[in-house]
């Protein structure tokens, strides 16, 4: 019995041991399988938002990580280029990126395969090259994938077709970076010694500042000239009145300036009055009628430049804001159950090309939405400029099915406005032209005068059904003329003489500056926004009422550079350098050849300028404000956020105060002057000079004009699209009843209250968290 029990026990022990061995073996196999399963393909992109979207499309076998842009660069503390040894750059890991680099290396070690998926441009190619160095990848291997849009088909297709890193594009980016480093690190110290500490000069930025300075000089030198135009209101029998303009007098065209006697100009009211009296005595007869059909074609889809221009014109966005929003739309927006979705194609492009797949999808969508008459038989093809790199498509929605209306609840206000612009422009580009019936009427008045009237009526909407056009803020209005024929007699109802003055060329705004940079081939689409931001940050240019004006510092630096460094601020020289960078990217020119040709003459000029230039004194603008600490008259200084008052006794006296520009309007509360002030973030507002005793403030610009009804001063409200609206500052005035400004002011009030509430809730939450930490 005992023997049997011992046998059973021993048998059970053996069984347990066998089971334990089996379990251990199973666990080992399980761990082995788990290890095998953890081997994934690593995809490295630039931004976390993009990583999140792409990981969703690729699935579990992939892990997608973000490099957060560049991980290596030239050192900030030194020149970083070995000129003596073929311009060898000294790259170092960027400070603060150590933990990120360590994490990427760890992921790379555990990965079965690595793909570098930085942006599809030269900058992205250089980032991939630096990543290859850090992660120990051979740049000649198939490690690089590119895509123009973040959609599932585009991502999956890109993974199927990896390629090697394009070293020519990398060299082009390196050459640009090194040229900028040479100019910045060699020229800036000269400005410190000769002008003042803290200044810097850039290769492309300096040319941009010169353009703005040259435009300001034109404006200052401009002599305005008075001239008059003459319009008339006519009618045929009992028909509606229509307007005609005087175009010829005694066979000469009416114009602003006389050119060798070919043009006739009216320069004074006396001269115009005499002509109008004579014109009024004449018989008006239709001399000719021309009817025709005019077709207006749609604009090409957006490039980086045209997107920035249209967003500035129509939405009032700065170039920086446009590119920031476009980046968000490209990288992906959370669309409810659909998750993060890329909504537009890559936003840094100078091409107007559209893929056949996108053309076909647009054709189907537009046919279904508007009908066959709105879709051309063959897709519209747009010519890309000679200098365009044409690396990828124009900016377009990833799918027209994502209509602005369907995305309204997922996008914030500004994202929606920009997306709507992109969607409408692309949809319009694939539609038929708008057709207008036009009528041009020539009218004779006696033997001396000829007038012209023009009418047009929309016959077929075509692309204007969705998009007004690049330069239009709203759709064209019909201008109707009565049914006229030759020899019809017309009756004069009214004469409309109007005084004008020739105007100087306008200052650059975001749209016109970007357009000029593109036309003159200065920089590339991806550099426009950083250029504009940099020249403002350095105090060379300031944005006033959405227009750029040079500061005194900007004038001084540009004048000095023009005298001693003509090439640096020469438009053609800078454009030629851009062309040479393009040739490096195409493998036609060597990087070091370009750097040698630039560096030698530049170094010689630098030495000569250092000897020739004495210390440059910046002009000092003395104010009428006395320093309350030492009694000196304070001077106007230029800072990062604009002008301010400072004591000239620095460093003994360090007193500073904001520069308050008097608007010339009296405060309705206390009778003090209303002055211009700025918030901490530099936004302009207006308040009483007697603050804090008087708390009157307004965001809108006080005007010297007064209300016809109550005599209060007027305010001008500026909308984001640049439009202005005048209204009476007196809330109780009868002109304010049902005035459109009331809704706008109520919206502003609600936004301000909501912001204040959020700040109070955040402060309460922070205080609560701090209390819990103490406990």
List residues with catalytic annotation. 346
Closest CA to 594 of 251, 257, 172: 172
Helix 552-564 with 167-194: angle, nearest 10 deg: 110
Are residues 100 and 67 in contact, defined by beta-carbon separation less than 8 angstroms? yes
DSSP symbol at 314: I
Are residues 206 and 574 in contact, defined by beta-carbon separation less than 8 angstroms? no
Are residues 643 and 618 in contact, defined by beta-carbon separation less than 8 angstroms? no
Strands of the sheet with 724-728, listed across from one edge: 701-706, 713-718, 724-728
Strands 701-706 and 697-698: unpaired
Closest CA to 562 of 609, 520, 595, 525: 609
DSSP symbol at 613: -
Are residues 64 and 45 in contact, defined by beta-carbon separation less than 8 angstroms? yes
CA distances from 422 to 23, 252, 682 (A): 61, 46, 30
Q: What torsion do the CA atoms of 329, 331, 335, 338 make, to the nearest 10 degrees? A: 140
CA distances from 216 to 213, 252, 507, 508 (A): 5, 34, 7, 9
Contacts of 380 by beta carbon, 8 Å cutoff, 6+ apart: 298, 429, 430, 431
Are residues 230 and 279 in contact, defined by beta-carbon separation less than 8 angstroms? yes
Closest CA to 673 of 660, 659, 656, 685: 660
DSSP symbol at 449: E
The DSSP string of 374-426 is: GS-SS----PPPTT----SPPB-BS-TTS-HHHHTTTS-HHHHHHHHHHHHHH
Q: What burial letters (b/e) apply to 697-728, b meaning 16+ CB within 10 Å?
A: eeebbbbeeebeeeebbbbebbeeebeeeebb
Are residues 354 and 413 in contact, defined by beta-carbon separation less than 8 angstroms? no
518/502 Cα distance (integer angstroms): 27
Specify the DSSP element, H or E, that contains 251. none
423/402 Cα distance (integer angstroms): 9
What's the gap between Cα 113 and its chain centre?
38
205/652 Cα distance (integer angstroms): 35
Q: How many CB atoms lie within 10 A of CB 424?
A: 17
49/331 Cα distance (integer angstroms): 6
Asked, as a colleague might, if the bond just before 315 is cis with ω within 30 of 0, I would say no
Are residues 194 and 616 in contact, defined by beta-carbon separation less than 8 angstroms? yes
Q: What torsion do the CA atoms of 320, 324, 327, 331 make, to the nearest 10 degrees? A: 170
Residue 315 backbone phi and psi in degrees, to 5: -115, -10
Residues forming beta bridges with residue 248, ordered by sequence position: 253, 450
Number of residues in the chain: 775
Are residues 444 and 284 in contact, defined by beta-carbon separation less than 8 angstroms? yes
């Amino acid at each position: 019995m005992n023997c049997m029990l011992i046998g059973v026990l021993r048998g059970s022990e053996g069984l347990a041991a066998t089971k334990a061995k089996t379990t251990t073996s199973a666990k080992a196999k399980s761990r082995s399988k788990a290890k095998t399963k953890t081997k994934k393909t690593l995809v490295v992109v630039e931004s976390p938002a993009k990583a999140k979207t792409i990981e969703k499309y690729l699935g579990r076998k992939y892990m997608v990580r973000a490099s957060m842009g560049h991980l290596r660069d030239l050192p900030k503390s030194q020149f970083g280029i070995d000129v003596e040894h073929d311009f060898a750059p000294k790259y170092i890991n960027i400070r603060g990126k150590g933990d990120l680099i360590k994490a990427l290396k760890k992921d790379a070690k555990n990965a079965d395969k690595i793909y570098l998926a930085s942006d599809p441009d030269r900058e992205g190619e250089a980032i991939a090259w630096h990543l290859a160095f850090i992660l120990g990848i051979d740049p000649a291997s198939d490690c690089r994938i590119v895509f123009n849009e973040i959609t599932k088909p585009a991502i999956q297709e890109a993974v199927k077709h990896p390629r090697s890193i394009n070293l020519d594009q990398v060299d082009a980016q390196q050459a640009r970076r090194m040229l900028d480093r040479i100019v910045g690190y060699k020229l800036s110290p000269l400005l410190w010694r000769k002008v003042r500490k803290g200044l810097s000069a850039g290769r492309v930025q300096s040319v941009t500042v010169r353009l703005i300075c040259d435009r300001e000089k034109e404006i200052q030198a401009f002599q305005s000239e008075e001239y008059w135009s003459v319009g008339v209101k006519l009618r045929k029998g009992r028909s509606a009145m229509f307007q005609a303009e005087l175009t010829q007098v005694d066979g000469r065209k009416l114009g602003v300036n006389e050119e060798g006697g070919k043009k006739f100009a009216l320069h004074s009211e006396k001269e115009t009055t005499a002509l109008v009296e004579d014109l009024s005595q004449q018989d008006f007869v239709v001399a000719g009628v021309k009817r025709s059909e005019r077709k207006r074609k749609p604009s090409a889809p957006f490039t980086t430049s045209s997107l920035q221009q249209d967003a500035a014109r129509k939405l009032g966005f700065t170039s920086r804001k446009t590119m920031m929003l476009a980046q968000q739309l490209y990288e992906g927006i959370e669309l409810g159950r659909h998750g993060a979705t890329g909504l537009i194609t890559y936003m840094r492009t100078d091409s107007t090309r559209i893929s056949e797949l996108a053309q076909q999808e647009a054709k189907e969508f537009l046919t279904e939405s508007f009908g066959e008459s709105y879709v051309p038989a063959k897709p519209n093809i747009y010519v890309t400029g000679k200098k365009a790199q044409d690396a990828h498509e124009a900016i377009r929605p990833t799918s027209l099915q994502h209509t602005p209306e369907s995305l309204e609840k997922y996008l914030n206000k500004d994202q929606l406005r920009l997306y709507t612009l992109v969607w409408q422009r692309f949809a319009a580009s694939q539609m038929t032209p708008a057709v207008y019936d036009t009528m041009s009427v020539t009218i004779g008045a006696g033997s001396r005068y000829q007038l012209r009237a023009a009418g047009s009526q929309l016959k077929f909407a075509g692309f204007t059904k969705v998009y007004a056009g690049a330069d239009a803020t709203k759709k064209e209005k019909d201008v109707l003329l009565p049914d006229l024929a030759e020899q019809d007699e017309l009756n004069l109802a009214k004469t409309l003489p109007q005084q004008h003055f020739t105007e100087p060329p306008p200052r650059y705004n975001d749209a016109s500056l970007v357009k000029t940079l593109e036309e003159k081939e200065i920089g590339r689409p991806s550099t426009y926004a950083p250029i504009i931001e940099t020249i403002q940050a350095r105090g060379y240019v300031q944005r006033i009422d959405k227009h750029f004006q040079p500061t005194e510092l900007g004038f001084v630096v540009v004048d000095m550079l023009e005298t001693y460094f003509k090439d640096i601020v020469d438009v053609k020289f800078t454009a030629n350098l851009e062309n040479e960078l393009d040739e490096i990217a195409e493998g036609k020119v060597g990087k070091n050849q370009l750097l040698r040709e630039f560096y030698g003459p530049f170094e010689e000029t630098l030495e000569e300028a250092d000897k020739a230039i004495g210390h440059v004194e910046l002009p000092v603008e003395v104010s009428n404000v006395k320093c309350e600490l030492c009694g000196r008259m304070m001077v106007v200084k230029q800072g990062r956020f604009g002008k301010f008052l400072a004591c000239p006794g620095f460093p003994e006296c360090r007193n500073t105060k904001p520069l308050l520009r008097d608007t010339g309007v009296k405060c309705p509360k206390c009778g003090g002057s209303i002055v211009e002030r700025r918030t901490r973030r530099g936004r302009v507002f207006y308040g009483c000079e007697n603050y804090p005793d008087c708390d009157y403030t307004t965001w809108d610009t006080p005007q010297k004009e007064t209300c016809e009804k109550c005599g209060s001063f007027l305010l001008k409200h500026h909308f984001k699209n640049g439009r202005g609206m005048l209204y009476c500052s007196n809330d109780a005035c009868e002109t304010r009843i049902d005035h459109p400004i009331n809704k706008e002011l109520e919206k502003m009030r609600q936004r301000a209250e909501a912001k204040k509430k959020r700040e109070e809730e955040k402060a309460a939450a922070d205080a609560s968290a701090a209390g819990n930490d103490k406990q």
